[in-house]
A and B are shown apart, each in its own frame.
Chain A
Amino acid sequence: MQPDISVRNLSKVYAGGFQALKNINLDIQRGEIFALLGPNGAGKTTLISIICGIVNLSSGTVLASGHDIVRDYRAARSAIGLVPQELNTDAFETVWDAVSFSRGLFGKPANPAHIEKVLKDLSLWDKRNSRIMSLSGGMKRRVMIAKALSHEPRILFLDEPTAGVDVELRRDMWEMVRGLRANGVTIILTTHYIEEAEEMADRIGVIRQGEIILVEGKDQLMAKLGKKELRLLLQQPLESLPGELAAEPIELSEDGFELVYTFDSQQQQAGVARLLRQLGEMGIEYRDLQTRESSLEEIFVGLVHE
């Protein structure tokens, strides 16, 4: 199947000489939720801005919904909805007018029924006749999402959609994202809340200093790079790590009461069974044990700081 977004050898050098993107190659499939992660200034927003037509590319090609974003910009942009990071809204217009404006701008005839549905889905219906300047920050964020959805895009970009947003709106938003995906909309999001990416995304791309350093299915990523940890709370403290265990990835806590064994998720539990048997043979008793899987956040931090 043809990818919904196809980025080939994309580079961006800003006028000042700063290279924001270096030879990016990326395919995003129809109907998936793709999370783009990376530290501040890594190039996430530049990449999104180029695909959406806000920033010019320096070299390379981008296809959106099969259309070249430069040569065939009308078809490409018609397919895309964008919710930018900054809260940039009109002030004096009403919610209804602003959202209807967006639909017209994207070349679609008026459709009050669709606007009504979007506003209701985003709990904005009661505010439809309010001026945008009178709304709270969270409500303005909803208006921006409504504007992006006004023209029924098949690709939706959410650039840090949950930054500075309260718990309720965040929950609503993810529910909406799931609903959109169920209708076949492709969703590309960036976020600083990695647990969100962990919860929502089908695939994850990590960008660092303008380069895509990894693209993986979330589950594969977790399995491949995730670490597991076994903590053993001992009955008696140990003075030091016994020599027999020195070769293993084991650490002893300072008070001597805890042994921490780290292993790859892929190694299964074989190492654990062996370790526990070994401890039994050595007469080291423990009163409790727990295992823990590393989160995407730890994986991410590990990748970015390599």
Chain B
Amino acid sequence: MNLYGVKAIYRFEMARMWRTLMQSIASPVISTSLYFVVFGSAIGSRMGEIDGISYGAFIIPGLVMLSLLMQSISNASFGIYMPKFSGTIYEVLSAPVSYVEVVLGYVGAAATKSVILGVIILVTARLFVDYTILHPIWMVSFLVLTSVTFSLFGFIIGIWADGFEKLQIVPLMIVTPLVFLGGTFYSIDMLPEIWQTITLFNPVVYLISGFRWAFYGVSDIHVGISVAMTLVFMLGCMTAIWWIFKSGYRLRS
């Protein structure tokens, strides 16, 4: 195991975060704050409680998930796309590092950033809305699991992308709709029956439901299923990455 190699990549990626502090931390915090002001305080004050939780508090887990997903994907995809774009990837390819080590470095750093960001958003949310965390260990587990899973997903996108457009297209065109339709702003049983069924095909539903359960002990779907679905998605991403390195797809001709 080339631990120095993993550490070098990890530190390189973390340095990028401190350099781009505004983009990495400040902008998601600002946009999340805007959601809290508009949906939590302004509109939320006129909405009834959902499952016995005030609307402002109800949307917190979903909003954290929204940021977590977007940032995990964008951090990890950018992290591996940039060396491909600038050509510096030659160094990683010629280094005595296995693909597991490469993934540990890049995905580990991206997931770390997401977890830090998630915590910052939770702290920020506290300024606007009062909330409780019933199962803190589960909450942290979901936070970490989601960050890692979607950083893996972002890594795949970064390798697949051969232009900046493609880098943006998946987060914008697929992930954002899935998060908005995944129960961030409503409980699934508020939907007509047919949509309740369709929604079950949206993987984000399981994440948000499980995460919300960790906060308030109520969920649309059993928490065990949420964890299982997240693990399945993570396994899928790992399989895809294994194939990428084995075949050399877009990395080694």
Bitwise, A273-299 to B at CB < 8 A (1) or not (0) is 000000000000000000000000000
Task: Give the distance in Å from the alpha carbon of A272 to the alpha carbon of B2 in the complex.
Answer: 65
What residues of chain A lie closer than 8 Å to B239, measured between beta carbons? none
Which residues of A52-109 are within 8 A (CB) of B?
52-56, 73-78, 80, 82, 84, 86, 88-93, 97, 100-109
Nearest CB of A to B146, in Å: 29
State which residues 81-107 of B face A: CB under 8 Å: 86-88, 90-98
Query: Does A1 belong to the interface (CB within 8 Å)?
Result: no
Q: A73-B96, A77-B95 are in contact. Are A106 and B90 (CB under 8 A)?
A: no
Q: In the bound complex, do residue B93 and residue A53 qualify as a contact, i.e. CB atoms below 8 Å apart?
A: yes
Asked if A107 and B94 make an inter-chain contact with CB atoms under 8 angstroms apart, the answer reads no
Q: Known contacts A14-B253, A56-B253; is A105 also within 8 Å of B97 by CB? A: yes
Is B19 a contact partner of A92 (Cβ separation < 8 A)?
yes
- A15 within 8 A of partner (CB): yes
Judge if A147 is at the interface, Cβ distance under 8 Å: yes
B8 touches A88 (CB 8 A): no
User: B1-33 vs A: 1/0 string, CB under 8 Å?
Assistant: 010110111011001100100000000000000
- A86 near B4 with CB under 8 A, answer no
Q: Is the CB of B7 within 8 A of A54?
A: no
The answer, yes or no, to whether B46 is at the interface (CB within 8 Å) is no
Within the complex, the shortest CB–CB distance from A23 to chain B, in Å, comes to 19
Residues of B within 8 A of A78 (CB): 96
> Which of these, A55, A86, A101, contacts B252 with CB under 8 Å?
A55
Q: Across the interface, do B96 and A88 meet the contact criterion of CB distance under 8 Å?
A: no
Bound-state Cα–Cα, A65 to B92, Å:
20
B9–A105 touching, CB < 8 Å:
yes
0/1 interface trace, chain B 88-130, chain A, CB 8 Å (1 if under): 1011111111100000000000000000000000000000000
Chain A residues with Cβ below 8 Å from B96 are: 73-78, 106-107
Q: Which of B8, B87, B94 contacts A86 (CB 8 A)?
A: B87
Chain B residues in 8 Å Cβ range of A55: 252-253
Assembly CA distance A147 to B92 (angstroms): 12
CA A93 to CA B90, docked complex, whole Å: 17
Residues on B with C-beta less than 8 A from A105 are: 4-5, 8-9, 91-92, 95, 97
B248 interface hit (Cβ, 8 Å): yes
Q: Which of B90, B252, B253 contacts A82 (CB 8 A)?
A: B90
Question: Which residues of A have CB within 8 Å of B19?
Answer: 92
Cross-chain contact B15 with A91 (CB below 8 angstroms) = no
Are A107 and B15 in touch, CB under 8 angstroms? no
B248 in contact with A88 (CB, 8 Å): no
Interface residues of A in 194-240 (CB under 8 A from B): none
B98 proximity list for chain A (CB < 8 A): 74
Q: How many residues of B contact A (CB 8 A)?
A: 26
Task: Say yes or no: B88 contacts A88, CB within 8 Å.
Answer: yes
Q: Is the CB of B86 within 8 A of A54?
A: no
B253 and A15 contacting across the interface, CB-CB below 8 Å:
yes
**Known pairs A75-B96, A106-B95; A101 contacts B12 (CB<8 A):** yes
Task: List residues 214-253 of chain B with CB under 8 A from any CB of chain A.
Answer: 248, 252-253
The residue on B at minimum CB distance from A77 is B96
* Other-chain contact of B90, A54, A74, A97, A104 (Cβ < 8 Å): A54
A40 to chain B, nearest CB (A): 18
Closest B residue to A81 by CB, please name it.
B94
Judge whether B93 and A54 touch: CB under 8 Å.
yes
Q: A93-B15, A105-B8, A107-B5 are in contact. Are A80 and B253 (CB under 8 A)?
A: no
Contact B252 A56 (CB under 8 A): yes
- Which one of A56, A102, A109 contacts B91 once the chains associate, using CB atoms below 8 Å? A102
A66 to chain B, nearest CB (A): 15
Contacts of A76 in B (CB 8 A): 96
A53 CA to B75 CA in the complex, in Å?
27
Query: Which residues in B have some Cβ–Cβ distance to A below 8 Å?
Result: 2, 4-5, 7-9, 11-12, 15-16, 19, 86-88, 90-98, 248, 252-253
Q: Could you name 12 residue pairs across A and B whose Cβ atoms are closer than 8 Å?
A: A53-B93, A54-B90, A54-B252, A56-B248, A88-B86, A97-B15, A104-B8, A105-B5, A105-B8, A105-B91, A106-B4, A107-B96
- Footprint of B on A, CB under 8 Å? 14-15, 52-56, 73-78, 80, 82, 84, 86, 88-93, 97, 100-109, 147
Q: Which 5 A-B pairs have the closest CB atoms?
A: A104-B8, A88-B87, A74-B96, A77-B96, A107-B2
Q: A88-B90, A107-B95 provided; 19 other pairs, C-beta below 8 A?
A: A15-B253, A52-B94, A53-B93, A53-B94, A54-B252, A56-B252, A76-B96, A80-B94, A84-B87, A84-B90, A92-B16, A102-B91, A103-B8, A104-B7, A104-B11, A105-B92, A106-B4, A106-B5, A107-B2
